[in-house]
Structures are given as structure tokens and as C-alpha cells.
Amino acid sequence: MTLQAIPFTQVQIRDAFWAPRREANRRISLPLSLDKLAEAGNLRNLELAAAGATEGFVGPVFADSDVYKALEAVAYSLATDPDPELERRVDEIIAQIAAAQRPDGYLNTAYQVKIGLKRRWTNLRDNHELYCAGHLFEAAVAHFQATGKRTLLEVATKFADHIDSVFGDAPGERMGYPGHPEIELALVKLWRVTGERRYFDLARFFVVNRGRKFFADEHGTPHEEYRGEYWQDHLPIREHAAIVGHAVRAGYLYSAVVDVAAETGDAELLQMAERVWDNTTNRRMYVTGGIGSSAHNEGFTGDYDLPNLTAYQETCASVAMMMWNQRLNLITGDSKYADILELALYNGFLAGVSLDGRRYFYVNPLASEGGHHRQEWFGCACCPPNVTRTLASLGGYAYAASDRGLWVNLYIRGGARAQVGGQNVALDVMTEYPWDGKVQITVTPDAEAAFALHLRVPGWCEGASVRVNGLLVSDAPLEKGYFVLDRAWKPGDAVEMDLPMPVRRIGADPRVAEDRGCLALARGPLVYCVEDCDLDAPVAALALPAAAEFTAGPELLGGIVTLVGNGETGAEPEWRGGLYRTAAPLVPVAVTAVPYYAWDNRAPGGMRVWIPTIPPPPATRERGE
Amino acid sequence: MTLQAIPFTQVQIRDAFWAPRREANRRISLPLSLDKLAEAGNLRNLELAAAGATEGFVGPVFADSDVYKALEAVAYSLATDPDPELERRVDEIIAQIAAAQRPDGYLNTAYQVKIGLKRRWTNLRDNHELYCAGHLFEAAVAHFQATGKRTLLEVATKFADHIDSVFGDAPGERMGYPGHPEIELALVKLWRVTGERRYFDLARFFVVNRGRKFFADEHGTPHEEYRGEYWQDHLPIREHAAIVGHAVRAGYLYSAVVDVAAETGDAELLQMAERVWDNTTNRRMYVTGGIGSSAHNEGFTGDYDLPNLTAYQETCASVAMMMWNQRLNLITGDSKYADILELALYNGFLAGVSLDGRRYFYVNPLASEGGHHRQEWFGCACCPPNVTRTLASLGGYAYAASDRGLWVNLYIRGGARAQVGGQNVALDVMTEYPWDGKVQITVTPDAEAAFALHLRVPGWCEGASVRVNGLLVSDAPLEKGYFVLDRAWKPGDAVEMDLPMPVRRIGADPRVAEDRGCLALARGPLVYCVEDCDLDAPVAALALPAAAEFTAGPELLGGIVTLVGNGETGAEPEWRGGLYRTAAPLVPVAVTAVPYYAWDNRAPGGMRVWIPTIPPPPATRERGE
């Protein structure tokens, strides 16, 4: 990568926004996730595999991956917030995992206990062996980095070596790639932590072969009848132009694509990723930064098809968007990717978990008629540990560094420690972001040092300004969306950013039929929504006239800045009168909007992100002839 | 009928609204219409028929009907405004008609000159023989009443006798009815003026047999394959429930239905007419009172299908609506029918002719992109003479009388003379209607007389009030939509109506998809529209926010009251930016609206009746991948 992310272990988060969420994550979500894995039988699967059992497996074929993701999440948390009890539970589970591993390194309880080892690697399309392996590798890297223990890393490398012996271009190795990408980016991490280049090469093998319609061959489907979109296997990887198929698979795949392009300098691969990104963000992404319109394929349909009530926008897909966009930001240094990262983080992703850390959304619609609520766990439990691992490692998304510079992508009170040009530099950040756009950064190198501090000017922000030591830097160059302060920094130099945060009224490209004639409210990085419990009229009947003014309003739910203004609703729920009549006057309605991420944390009811600027027509009842 | 219309010859029109239109009608339109009939060859067809020619016929099979309608129009005009030159031209044409008539009474130049007499009455469905006869009868009645001359009446009765000898239930007579209804209501008129009951019986025969699928039999179409909707021949007449098929045919048919029901007391027929009227006015009528959504069949499609840009709304169909609704008003005494009569008259109908009387609309869309303009004449010239005969006899729609009462349906400066309970009564009307809702009526019986004066309270009016001799009649009973002033009237009694005329914003039943999210402006009986030439923005991009206030504005086009207010338009004609962006502010636009009837009398350009309450979305241009 051109830039390196500053590891989350070097980042402090001490704000009123994220710190409580991370606290709930650590105290509530993480222990609960381990409990749930025990309850749901995922851990029992490991015991059965260790015992050589051939029946009793429970859950989906990818049940192991939920265990690995939960371990990854706990490991991140242990790295910043040591917790002996959690660490003990992790060690226990790791021991179960190690016990379940086959002598040849193979490890997959679904195959070991249920499907049968003879059939391993025979259905890469559907059965998630490589996907589970990937999550094992990510967990192992996290655990090793957090604790220095090699227990899980050894399981991982043993399995990786086994996989490497099976797949590849060398004589005796075979073609294949995972139905659900994941192992590719995990192998890159495993390579980085072990220095074992074979792992990177295997990741590259899986990436560059994608699209050769391997799944058609695996299942005896004639190529001309094969529709590989669901698995992003429809076209040779270098020819991909639009984002298609299962959204999480796509996000993980293109993350790995950027990893491979960064290491190999493969410009064609990078161009493909940017092309697909253009398609994604200009045609197939929700205003909340999430992706995946359809429950049918848990993924994409067509350009501009972004239904709200039936939006899928899986929480995992928002995580995938963060991963992919961070990588694009690091390789290009362009803030437009960090903009999308921020958008997905604060909105599509963060809605995925309740404020108390106890309940999760798998599916994140942008409108609800009142029946959609977070749940404690899921039979397909991919989303909860994806939430917990992201919150636990959140700081890793905030800063980046190169030899000559530092980049601030997310504004979070706390700070970071980094090395720039051989100097240790501390950034101490004071801000009430995302509620307020004033950001004070104290720059403290060990000694005076020349480097460029890159401060992201969010794409949503107009009129950003920056001061150094109290003086307005009116000529600060704006490069790739960053204010660049390239100077000799002395300990204690004070930088002040001002990112004005008026309430924004957002419109959608008119080709998004669902949002035509509608507005969404936003402030700073947050997209807002309106819930029934804040209105005197059903949110389904609400309109926000184009001229409605909204301002930041009183706080709710312990510190959430609301937006208040006036809406309108139709005076009559039902059309009365003949074919034409004098239009009923509209009734003003006081409106309070809350951030989208915070919805469904109070009384259940309807919710909308996109609000029409005129009230929906009254209902009509069929009259007798 | 329960009520009798006061003949237009007993009605004075001396206002600034209709009188100039009638003057243009008499001085410009009527002479021009005779010129056009000569130019187009319609009169030459008569000469050819008189000469026994068998080639040279020009025009559609119903070419004769345009001649008859023009004569009817001129006759009406002669009755109120003698004009020796016009009368001479009429006499000349009547002589041509008489010369063309066959000795047996048959008269149809298309058959005589072109199709061949052997084939007469063989294609009632398509060839308009009975339709043309009907217009002959209407012209003859008008000419006889206007001039006392029997020249055309004798042609008419001779032809009617011939038709009566062909069609009917008696031995030797045959089944049949016209593909295009018209003769039915004409025979009723002919009966009234001649006293010859056979003509009424024949009208009734044509009416009550309709729907027995005669046209299927005539053309050898199996009944199960026959779709008779176009000719209102789909169901036995008494079972009709919805208005279907060709709009003018339907309107003429149901007018005759009411005529027959009125004379025979046939309650079932009347109930059917009311049922079809409910369907028409609650589901299939434009806000302008016109009917016929589709050019395809010049008629109806389905409930609530009322497109604006492609509205057909033939001028003749608005005339038919006036005829049908007047008859329903007279038989029921209910003002709701006069409301529709007024609506169609002031809007759908009146738009049919230019202010100068020189050009006509055949098709009256409710929106135009700028390419729709009135024309001097048409190959199918049904509409111009329908306009001229309606304007020439306009007074006949305004008043009605019974033995005990007088009814005022239209408020037009001038007055009427009538007999009520054996007394001659003069009504003198002073008003600026439709521009102002104050109406002063001086009631002058020859001597004091007790009768009920029924003053229509328009359905569009709220807060109507009435005074007699300066005193508010706060307890005036409202019966069937009329204020009823039942008292002993003395010569010079002064009645003052006040019909408040604020600007009304009209909404449509939400099932009218085309008008959803749109408003129309109206004031008094007039529906307004907005034309490009009055706007600084294209009317296609205009929005009228729901809260927009409109008031009566400066006059245009010699006395037309405009409506002025503020609209909005999008700031950008084309969407710029990505999938989501801060909504562009709306730009205020000063809006002047003119009555719908007055559109296309100035610079050509776009026009809309229904204006969305939010601007249409900006255009999008496909971006490259």
C-alpha cells in the first residue's frame, strides 16, 4: 500500500460517541457472543470433531466461521483492554479448535462431523471450507498480535499449509477458489504476520483465477448455461465492471483484489476495482453507505434499484464496504474512499447493533412499517461477530501513515501514536465529532520534525477551514480531499479544523425511482431517519416540504443530537369526495429526526430515511358501482 | 321532463364573457363554416347527388352531417340575430339538399354518389346514414323554429317517414340502430315540433334495442367474439353500468336515453343513465368536464385512466356532456347535473374554439409540450359546427321552468322571459360571472305571482348567500343544490346572490395516477392552466408547492381574469453529482395562470392544467461506465 493504516493498538478512542459503544461491545456483546456460540452448538461442533464423531453437527456449513470471528473480536479487545476472564474463555476455545484439527492440518467441523472428509474440497461453491479457513486465519493473526500467543496461529498456518498444498498452479495442485471470498484477504494478513510469501501467492491465485467459471466445472454446468454473478464468477476478474451478486462476497473479494494489486503493482486489477467502485457508489449504494438491495440473493440487482422498505443492506456488507474502501484509500491516498468508509461506518454499519450491545440487525432496511427489530442472535450468525470485531478494532480505520506523512481519516476524540520519517509522533485529538465539526489536534513529535499532516475534508462538508497555532491557513493545499499541512512540526503544535455541520437535505439521482420526490436529512457524517415514536402522525404519512428548515435539536438517548423541524401530513387518511375536489389543507407536524444508526432503540414503530416532500395520497376505498 | 328548458330564443345574453364569443361565432365562425363546407366539397356532394352522379363524392361517409350541423348553427343564430345574407346562403343550401333527396325520401350523398343505393342500410355500424339523418332532423327543427320556413323540415319528415318505414317492430320492418347514435335525440325533437308520435316511437325503438349485438349480426361476427363496447353495443342498454367506447357516441346515446325515459316514465332506463353518469363523473371525466381519454377509440379506457398530455377530450364530447347533463338536470331537477354542464361548457367545450372564432381544437389535451394548436378546419369536421351550434343556442342551457317554478342554472348577464303558472315573468340578470360571483336578478312578473325561484348554488361554491330586496334570506332552503325562494313575487323584486369565488386548489382522487402529487387551479366555474408564455421557466419544470397562495390577478386578452402566485422550479435542469448529493435549492417562479379555455391564443408553447407540487426531477444523462 502507498499508506499504512496505523494499527488500532496505537489509537486511542476516548470520546462520548464510540467509547461507550466499545465499552458495551466489550462488556456486553463479546461475552454474550461466546455464550451464544456455546448455546447454538458451534463450540459443541468442535468437540464432536475432536472426538471423531460423525453425527451431531448443528448449524450451517459455515458454523465454524462464527466462532473464529468472535475470537477475532475478543482478541482485538484484549489488545486494547486486557480482560483475564475473556482471555481465559478464548484460550479454552482455542484449545477446542486445536483439538479438532486433523493431523494433516484440515479443519472444518461440518465436513469432519457431517459431510464426511472424503468429500472435502468437492463443493467450493457452496460449502464454505475456504471461507471458514479465512476467518480462522484472521482470528489467529488477531490473537497472536493481541496476546503474543501462537496457539491459534499455529492451527492457522498448519491449515494454510494444507490448503496451499492442495490449490495452486504447481504440479499436483488444483484449480479452485472459494464460493464465498474471505480467505484471500485473510491469507494476505497471514503472510504479513508470518512473512510466509506462499500465503500471499495463494491469495493471489484465488483472486486472479476468479471468473474462469470454475463453479460451472465443479458442478457440471455447461458454461453457456452458467450464471456466475452470485459468486462474482461471471467474468474474468479483470473484466469486472459492475458490482453483482452477493454483496458481502463482493466486498470481501474486492478488498482482496486491492491487497493483491497493492503488493504486485497490478494496475489492471486496481483499475478494475476502481471501476467497480464507481458502479457501486454511483448506482448501487444506499445513502447510508450500505449495499445489497435484495434479500433474494443477499445482494445486488440493477443500477439505481434501491428499494427502501425491502432494502437488504446486510450489516456484514457495510463491514465489507469499510474494508474495501479503507484499502482503496490506502493504495490511492484519495479521501473519496474514506468518505464512503465513514458513511458506511456511522450509518449502515452502526445501525447493526443496539445501543446497549445486546441486539443486532442482520438486515437494515431504510424504511420500516414497524415490524423490523434487532434480535439477540441469528441461526446464520455472521453479522454479530462482524459488528463486534469491527468495533473492537475501530481505531484501525482512523489514521494512516507513510514515510513522509500522517493521514487523519476519522475524527474521534483520543489520538494516535505513529512513526513518521523515523520520528515518533503523537496526535492528541479533542472533538465532539460527529456531533460537532470542531477538531483540535495537538501534534507532538519527539523532536521537531518535517512531515505532512493530511486532514480529511469530508465530502459532505462545505467551508472547511484549518488553523495552526491559532492562525488561519487560508492557503492550505487541498490534495485528494485532504488539507495538507506540510511543515516542520514542533511538540505541542496546535491544529484546529472547523468542519461546518449544517443540517443537509439530501436528494437522490432521479434514476433511483424509490427516492424520487423524497429528501433525506443528514448532518455531518450521520444520515437521519424519522421514527413513529417522535411524531404525532404516522411516519408513513409524513412529508417534509422542500422548504422545511431543520436545525440540531435537543439530545435524546443519552447524547444523540436530534434534528427538529416542521413537516406536513395529509389532513385526511382517506380520500373523501368525488373524482376532483378542493384539496384538503395539509396539517403541520413537528418532526424530530434521529440518526439512522439509533433507530429501533425505543418504542417500536414505523421508520423512514427518505421522506417525500409531499404527503402520500390518502387511501382510497373502492366504491360500489 | 319534469322541467322544461326555457328556449334560447327567450333568453338574452348581454355580458362581456359570452356575448363577444357569440358575436365572433355569428360574424366569423358561421360564415367561415359555410365557406369551408363549400371548399371541402360537402356542398358539391349534394349537387352530385341531385344530378344523379355516381362518382366524385369527397370526404368521409358522414360528410353530409357537417352541412346539417352548420345549418343548425346558422338557424339558431338567425333566430336571435337576423342576418339576411346568412339566411340567403342557408336557403340556397337547403335547396341543394332538397334537390338531392330521393323521391322515396332517402338522402345520403355518400350512398347516392359513391357507395350505391343498393347497399343502403347494409352497414349501420360504420356508415353513418342514420347519424346523418339525425343531424338533418336537428337542423330542420332549428331552421323551422328560427324562420318559420318548412323547406328543410319537409325534407326531414320525408326522410324520417322513409326511415320509419324501414326500421321497427311492425311487420315488414327490420331491426337496426345507428353505429353512431344521434338520430334518437333528433327524432325526439322532430316529434316535438311536428307532433308526429311515430318519430318518438322510432327513437325509442333505436334506444331500447341497443346492446342486442345487432352489429355482430350485421357483420357476421359470432356473438362470443364480438366486442361491442366501441358502439355501446356490449350489453343490453338497461344493463349498462360504466361508460365505454367512443365518447361522443356514448354522450349522444345517453342523452336520448333520458329523452325516452322522460317521455315514457321508464324508471329502469333513467336509473341506468344515472348509474353510467356516476361512473363517468366519478371515474372517467377530466377536471375540465370533458370525456374520452384515448385517441385510439376516441373514447374511454378504464376507470381513473385520465392521461393529460394524450387526453383526447374531443370538443364534440364536451358538447355531448352538456346535452346529456342538461337532460338529466331537467328530468331530476338536481343541480349536480347542471354543475357538470357548467364545468364542461366553461372548460372542455369552450377551449374548442379560439377567442377570435377562427380556429378549433378537435382534441383537447390537458397538457401540451408546445406542439398542439387550433386549426381552421378538419377533414373530419364534426367539431367546428358543434361549437358554433352550441354557442348560437347557448341561452337554452341557462334556465328552466315548470308550472310552479323557475330555475336558473347558468348565471349570465342578460335575462329570460318565461311563463310560470300562466304568468309571464321576466328575469333580468346583472353579473360579471364567471369573473365575479355577485348576481343580481330582477324578477318582473306581469302581476304579483306566487312561484318558486330556484337558484343554483354551484357545487364549487362554499358560503353562497342570497338576499331578496336587500334582506338576507338566511333560511333559504337548499333543495337539490338550489336555493329555493318560494314567495309571492311582485314586479321589480330584487334578488342578489353572492357566490364567493376564492381561488381553489383542486386535487384528484389518488387513483388517477397521472394527477397524483399535482394540483389544478380553479376559480368559479373556470379551471385554469399555466402556459409557457407567462413563465420565466418551462411549464414542464414548474411546481406549485402545496402552500402556494394564488389570487385573482391582472386581466389579459381583453378581460380574462388571471390567477397569480408563486411557484417553484428546480435550480438545475440536469442532475449533477453522484448518486446522492445535497438537494439543490428550488428557485421561486412568478406564475400567471389563465383559464383553460383561453390557452393557445397567444405565443405557442407548453401548457399544463395539473401542476406537480414538487418540481419534476432533473434530467439524467447516462454516464460512461
**Which pLDDT does position B576 carry in this prediction?**
80
d(CA A450, CA A429): 20
**Rounded mean pLDDT of A243-268?**
97
SS3 at position B58: coil
Q: What share of chain A is helix, strand, coil (3-state, %, to 5)?
A: 40, 20, 40
For A497-542, the DSSP string reads EE----EEEEEE-TT-GGGTTEEEEEETTEEEEEEGGG-SS-GGGE
Q: Flag whether residue B417 sits within 8 Å of chain A, measured between CB atoms.
A: no
- Which cell is B99 given? 334537390
- Which cell is A603 given? 418504542
The rounded percent of chain B whose pLDDT value lies above 90 is: 91
Residues B124 and B215 sit within 8 Å (Cβ to Cβ):
yes
Task: Kindly report the average pLDDT of chain A as a whole number.
Answer: 95
Q: Among B182, B189, B201, which residue's Cα sits nearest to residue B251? A: B182
Q: Among A245, A186, A177, A268, which residue's Cα sits nearest to residue A215? A: A177
Sign of the torsion angle spanned by Cα atoms B333, B336, B337, B338: positive
SS3 at position B181: coil
d(CA A472, CA A494): 12
For B363-424, the DSSP string reads S--SEESS----BS--SS-SHHHHHHHHHHTGGGGTEEE-SSEEEE-S--SEEEEEEETTEE
Q: A176 or B570: whose pLDDT is higher?
A: A176
Q: Among B31, B22, B47, which residue's Cα sits nearest to residue B84? A: B31
d(CA B202, CA B190): 11
Measured in degrees and rounded to the nearest 5, phi and psi for residue B417 equal -120, 135
B584 and A511 in contact by Cβ < 8 A?
no
**Rounded mean pLDDT of A189-193?**
98
Chain B nearest C-alpha distance from A352 (Å)? 22
What order do you get walking across the sheet with A449-456 strand by strand? A4-5, A399-401, A405-408, A449-456, A482-489, A478-479
**Which pLDDT does position B625 carry in this prediction?**
35
**B residues 489..548 contacting A (CB < 8 A):** 504-512, 516-517, 519-520, 545-547
Using CA atoms in the order A314, A315, A316, A322, what is the torsion angle rounded to 10 degrees?
120
Could you read off the pLDDT of B570-621 as tens digits, one per residue?
878 788 878 998 888 889 999 999 999 999 999 999 999 999 988 888 887 6
Sign of the torsion angle spanned by Cα atoms B361, B362, B367, B371: negative
d(CA A111, CA A484): 53
Question: Is-cis flag, bond preceding A434, omega within 30?
Answer: yes
This model's pTM is above 0.90: no
d(CA B401, CA B546): 43
**B residues 250..279 contacting A (CB < 8 A):** 275, 278-279
Mutation target to probe the B interface, by most B beta carbons within 10 A, among A505, A512, A542, A579 is A579
Q: How many Cα atoms occupy the beta-carbon half-sphere of A461 within 13 Å? A: 27
B507 and A283 in contact by Cβ < 8 A?
no
Chain centroid offset of residue A387 CA: 8
Q: Is pLDDT at A127 greater than 50 in this prediction? A: yes
Closest A-chain CA to B508: A580
- Which cell is B10 given? 327567450
Sign of the torsion angle spanned by Cα atoms A155, A156, A158, A159: positive
- ipTM, interface predicted TM-score of the complex: 0.88
Could you read off the pLDDT of B313-326 as tens digits, one per residue?
999 999 999 999 99
Q: Among A480, A496, A505, which residue's Cα sits nearest to residue A563? A: A505
Q: Is pLDDT at A623 greater than 60 in this prediction? A: no
**N-to-C CA span, chain A:** 71
The rounded percent of chain B whose pLDDT value lies above 70 is: 99
**Rounded mean pLDDT of B62-76?**
97
User: Which residue matches cell numbers 464512503?
Assistant: A340
User: Which residue matches cell numbers 491516498?
Assistant: A333
Chain centroid offset of residue A290 CA: 8
Q: Where are the domains of chain B?
A: 9-215, 237-352, 400-498, 503-612
What length does chain B have? 625
A613 and B614 in contact by Cβ < 8 A?
yes
Residues B72 and B186 sit within 8 Å (Cβ to Cβ):
no
**Rounded mean pLDDT of A472-491?**
96
Determine whether B132 is an active site residue: no
Across-strand partners of A564?
A551, A592
- Which cell is A503 given? 443540517
Q: Is pLDDT at A144 greater than 90 in this prediction? A: yes
Closest A-chain CA to B517: A614
Confidence band, pLDDT 50/70/90 cuts, at residue A618 = confident
Determine whether A622 is an active site residue: no
**Which pLDDT does position A622 carry in this prediction?**
58
Q: Among B459, B456, B554, B462, which residue's Cα sits nearest to residue B500? A: B462
**Which pLDDT does position A166 carry in this prediction?**
98
What does the DSSP 8-state code read for residue B548? -
B583 and A506 in contact by Cβ < 8 A?
yes
Q: How many Cα atoms occupy the beta-carbon half-sphere of B364 within 13 Å? A: 33
Could you read off the pLDDT of B275-310 as tens digits, one per residue?
999 999 999 999 999 999 999 999 999 999 999 999
Q: Which residues in chain B are contacts of A568 at CB distance < 8 A?
A: 546
- Which cell is A127 given? 460449502
d(CA A275, CA A267): 12
Across-strand partners of A426?
A417, A444
B241 and A279 in contact by Cβ < 8 A?
no
Q: Flag whether residue B591 sits within 8 Å of chain A, measured between CB atoms.
A: no
Question: Is-cis flag, bond preceding B434, omega within 30?
Answer: yes
B287 and A580 in contact by Cβ < 8 A?
yes
d(CA A298, CA A270): 25
d(CA A425, CA B249): 89
Whole-Å CA distances, B585 to A502, A519, A527, B192: 15, 12, 19, 66
Residues A398 and A6 sit within 8 Å (Cβ to Cβ):
yes
Q: Among A263, A281, A389, which residue's Cα sits nearest to residue A338? A: A281
Angle, CA B45 vertex, CA B44 and CA B50 arms, to 5°: 95
H/E stretch holding B520 reads: strand B518-523
Q: Which residues in chain A are contacts of B506 at CB distance < 8 A?
A: 580-583
**N-to-C CA span, chain B:** 71
CATH class name, domain B400-498? mainly beta
Confidence band, pLDDT 50/70/90 cuts, at residue A1 = low
d(CA A26, CA A326): 24
Confidence band, pLDDT 50/70/90 cuts, at residue B1 = low
In b/e form, how buried is each residue of A458-482, taking b as 16+ CB within 10 angstroms? Answer: bbbbeebebbbeeeebeebeeebbb
Could you read off the pLDDT of B455-510 as tens digits, one per residue?
999 999 999 999 999 999 999 999 999 999 999 999 999 999 999 999 999 999 99
User: Pairing mode, if any, of strands A607-608 and A503-508?
Assistant: unpaired
> Considering CB atoms only, which of A519, A586, A625 is closest to B241?
A625
Q: What share of chain B is helix, strand, coil (3-state, %, to 5)?
A: 40, 20, 40
Angle, CA B466 vertex, CA B462 and CA B469 arms, to 5°: 165
d(CA A238, CA A272): 6
Across-strand partners of B550?
B565
User: Which residue matches cell numbers 366555474?
Assistant: B525
Q: Which residues in chain B are contacts of A610 at CB distance < 8 A?
A: none
Q: Flag whether residue B192 sits within 8 Å of chain A, measured between CB atoms.
A: no
| Active-site residue (options: B316, B382, B461, B518) | B382
Whole-Å CA distances, B180 to B176, B251, B312, B475: 12, 10, 18, 48
**Rounded mean pLDDT of B444-465?**
96
Task: Kindly report the average pLDDT of chain B as a whole number.
Answer: 95
Q: Which amino acid makes up residue B186?
A: A
H helix intervals, A25-121? 30-40, 42-50, 63-80, 84-100, 109
B579 and A613 in contact by Cβ < 8 A?
no
Chain A nearest C-alpha distance from B178 (Å)? 28
